[in-house]
Amino acid sequence: CKILRCNSEYVAATLHLRGPERGAAFCTALRSYSLCTRRTARTCRGDLAFHSAVHGIEDLMIQNNCSKEGPTAPPRPRPAAPNAAHGFESLDICDYERSFLYKHGRPPGFQHCAAFGDPHIRTFHDDFHTCRVEGSWPLLDNDYLFVQATSWPVAKGSNATVTSKLTIIFKNMKECIDQKVYQAELDNLPAAFQDGSIDGGARPGGSSLSILERSPGRHVEIRAAYIGTTIAVRQAGRQLSFSIRAAEEVARAFTEEQDLQLCVGGCPHSQRMSRSPRGRGRVPAETARALCREMLPVEDVYFQSCVFDVVTSGDTNFTMAARGALEDARLFLPDAEKLHIFQ
């Protein structure tokens, strides 16, 4: 895929265009850029940078009233090395946020999803469900990421389940990373991928995927800069939790066949549970409320989830699970006003 060549030729052609007279030359450069991307379409079909360029060209042509028909120009010489630092060439194609900002003139949008406790799912669309989902279920399944959670009953005879295993696959991206698999299980939260590595491999952009151990055996953060994504995996008590901040473009990169994703659609209706504890719990509801209020002073869905989990399981460590999910949301949510959800 030679999208980098198209990008650099476009930058070279427009770098010195200034003022009101630039219009015709700018449209010529955009048409040349579009022609270049069409020539690389077959080999670049699965490339995030290619699709970003195609959409960016369309937007720029509309904004500048450029017609799709018209003259194109041969590639201009690339700027000399001292100036190249200001062009797209110098931007690492595996730095999604910088590349997006350069192409679109604005930072990318982000979405947040989390799965913790029972499990409770906060979707990319800020819906909130409590699920029974026993066995293995996909949280994400798109062109760049696959995340699967495996859940088992929180206690014998209980309908409530907790996540005991997480599998995260970072799919191969030609310029940036080899495919990497991260797997966490109860009492085994490694600070490395399955192959023992701590980054994306030997490719030029390998460092754009990295693992950081925030708290040994309790909290791991995985940064995937090449797709503008950060993931947090935690263990609190006898359950694992998952939180993600993903670029909108990445979160939406899936087909109709990839329709079962708890982060996108939430739990199927048949798997949803009420968060109102019924019957005799393992801890009295008022005791659970007092414990949860210490960690979660706002009585939102995180607080409700905490009460449900403590009553159902009898494990007071679930207060830490809800607190961790709230902390991740505070860091990952693009809109701070959406932090608390009330149902």
Q: Is residue 89 very low, low, confident or very high in pLDDT (cuts 50, 70, 90)?
A: very low
Q: Is residue 83 very low, low, confident or very high in pLDDT (cuts 50, 70, 90)?
A: very low
Domain span holding position 7: 2-64
Which residue is associated with the tokens 């209020």?
293
What single-letter amino acid sits at 193?
Answer: F
Q: What is the mean pLDDT of residues 163-181?
A: 93
* 170 assigned to some structural domain: yes
Among 244, 271, 298, which residue terminates a domain? 271
Q: What is the mean pLDDT of residues 177-187?
A: 95
For residue 55, the model assigns a pLDDT of: 85
Among 243, 271, 299, which residue terminates a domain? 271
For residue 80, the model assigns a pLDDT of: 41
Are 145 and 228 contained in the same domain? yes
For residue 175, the model assigns a pLDDT of: 83
Local structure of 285: helix, strand or coil: helix
For residue 160, the model assigns a pLDDT of: 67
* 311 assigned to some structural domain: no
For residue 21, the model assigns a pLDDT of: 58
Are 197 and 260 contained in the same domain? yes
Distance CA 122, CA 134 (A): 18
Is residue 257's pLDDT more than 90?
A: no
For residue 329, the model assigns a pLDDT of: 96
Identify the burial level of 341 via C-beta atoms within 10 angstroms of its C-beta, where 0-12 means exposed, 13-18 middle and 19 or more buried: middle
Local structure of 141: helix, strand or coil: strand
Are 149 and 252 contained in the same domain? yes
Q: What is the mean pLDDT of residues 303-330?
A: 92
The DSSP H or E segment spanning 219 is strand 219-224
For residue 87, the model assigns a pLDDT of: 45
Beta-carbon contacts of residue 5 (< 8 Å; ≥ 6 apart): 36
* 277 assigned to some structural domain: no
Is residue 78's pLDDT more than 90?
A: no
Is residue 82's pLDDT more than 60?
A: no
* 93 assigned to some structural domain: no
- Cα 30 from chain centre: 30
For residue 340, the model assigns a pLDDT of: 94
Find the CATH number of the domain harbouring 144. Answer: 3.40.1000.10
Are 54 and 192 contained in the same domain? no
Are 24 and 137 contained in the same domain? no
pTM over 0.95: no
Are 183 and 243 contained in the same domain? yes
Residue-wise pLDDT tens digits, 204-249:
889 999 999 999 999 999 999 999 999 999 999 889 999 999 999 9
Are 230 and 118 contained in the same domain? yes
Q: What is the mean pLDDT of residues 298-306?
A: 95
Are 9 and 142 contained in the same domain? no
Are 138 and 260 contained in the same domain? yes
Tokens of 56: 């960016």
Q: Which of 20-24, 166-170, 272-276, 312-316 has the lowest mean pLDDT?
A: 20-24
The strand ranges marked E within 14-132 are 110-116, 120-122, 128-131
For residue 84, the model assigns a pLDDT of: 40
- Tally of structural domains, the chain: 2
Among 241, 271, 301, which residue terminates a domain? 271
The residue with greater pLDDT, 12 or 120, is 120
* 126 assigned to some structural domain: yes
Distance CA 86, CA 11 (A): 10
* 103 assigned to some structural domain: no
Residue-wise pLDDT tens digits, 116-163:
998 999 999 999 999 887 889 999 999 999 999 998 887 666 666 889
